[in-house]
């Protein structure tokens, strides 16, 4: 897994990258009450706003970590946004994308580097 400074995680599965937020981000947000996901099939550029999360504390945007196409969204989060608090690093992934340049993943932090950032 790789991690962004915006507290997103990226997990590579073959040619696909799965994106979600870290436990740290989930805790900072508080109870998540709404998640707006992107449309499948759209092409995004790195740093485009692609997901909106609303919690009891604040609203937050999730940015596209890579250039590419959104190929699948986690529709379960629309019905159960609280999954983001329950399992942010597992079942509560936001979207899967096919990056146009897979090497962009290497620009991000390892888990050890991320843990140093949040400590």
Closest C-alpha among 100, 92, 116, 30 to residue 65: 100
Identify the CATH number of the domain in which residue 86 sits: 2.40.50.100
- Which residue ranges in the chain fall short of pLDDT 70? none
Q: Give pLDDT tens digits for 39-71.
A: 999 999 999 999 999 999 889 999 999 999 999
**Residue 33 CB partners (closer than 8 Å, separation 6+):** 54, 55, 56, 81, 82
117 located within any domain: no
What is the pLDDT, as a whole number, of residue 58?
87
Here the tokens at position 99 are 């990056």
Closest C-alpha among 101, 117, 99, 119 to residue 109: 117
Q: Where are the alpha helices (DSSP H) in the chain?
A: 23-29, 76-79, 83-86, 111-118
**Residue 54 CB neighbour total at 10 angstroms:** 15
115 located within any domain: no
Residue 13 CA to residue 94 CA, distance in Å, equals: 15
110 located within any domain: no
What is the pLDDT, as a whole number, of residue 49?
96
114 located within any domain: no
Number of domains in the chain: 1
Which domain, by its residues, includes 89? 2-101
113 located within any domain: no
107 located within any domain: no
18 located within any domain: yes
Residue 86 CA to residue 100 CA, distance in Å, equals: 31
């Amino acid at each position: 897994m790789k991690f962004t400074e915006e507290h997103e995680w990226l997990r590579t599965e073959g040619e696909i990258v799965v994106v979600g937020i870290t436990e740290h981000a989930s805790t900072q947000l508080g109870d998540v009450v709404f998640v707006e996901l992107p449309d499948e099939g759209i092409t995004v550029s790195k740093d485009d706003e692609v997901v909106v999360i609303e919690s009891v504390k604040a609203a937050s945007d999730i940015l596209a970590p890579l250039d590419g196409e959104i190929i699948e969204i986690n529709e379960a989060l629309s019905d159960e946004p609280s999954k983001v608090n329950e399992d942010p690093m597992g079942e509560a992934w936001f979207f899967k994308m096919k990056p146009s340049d897979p090497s962009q993943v290497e620009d991000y932090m390892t888990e050890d580097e991320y843990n140093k950032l949040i400590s």
